[in-house]
Amino acid sequence: MLNILHDDAVDMEQTTIAQTLKQNNARAVAKLVMVMAIIMTIALVVNLFPTMITVMFLMAPAVIMNVGWLLFSSAIGA
């Protein structure tokens, strides 16, 4: 019978792999995390680009009208 209070238990395989990665491959893991972050950032920009074009087309009339009102109010000296 295995006593869980003592240190004679064998680690699970996943835990051993994680500890080995942490000890032996710290630079490789850091590089992998950086590459994953860059890929996620590129994916975010690629997905947001068409949405931003649509938002700009929807905002353009409001911006033009606001500029027109500013010019109109300055012309009458308000």
pLDDT at 8 over 70: no
Instruction: Please name the helix (run of DSSP H) or strand (run of DSSP E) that holds residue 7, with its range, or none.
Output: none
Within 13 A of 78's CA, how many CA atoms are on the CB side? 8
Residue type, 38: I
Within 13 A of 19's CA, how many CA atoms are on the CB side? 6
Instruction: Please name the helix (run of DSSP H) or strand (run of DSSP E) that holds residue 45, with its range, or none.
Output: helix 26-76
Cα dihedral sign for 34, 38, 39, 43?
A: positive
Q: What is the pLDDT of residue 12?
A: 61
pLDDT in tens, 34-56: 999 999 999 999 999 888 899 99
User: What span, in angstroms and rounded, lies between the C-alpha atoms of 25 and 33?
Assistant: 12
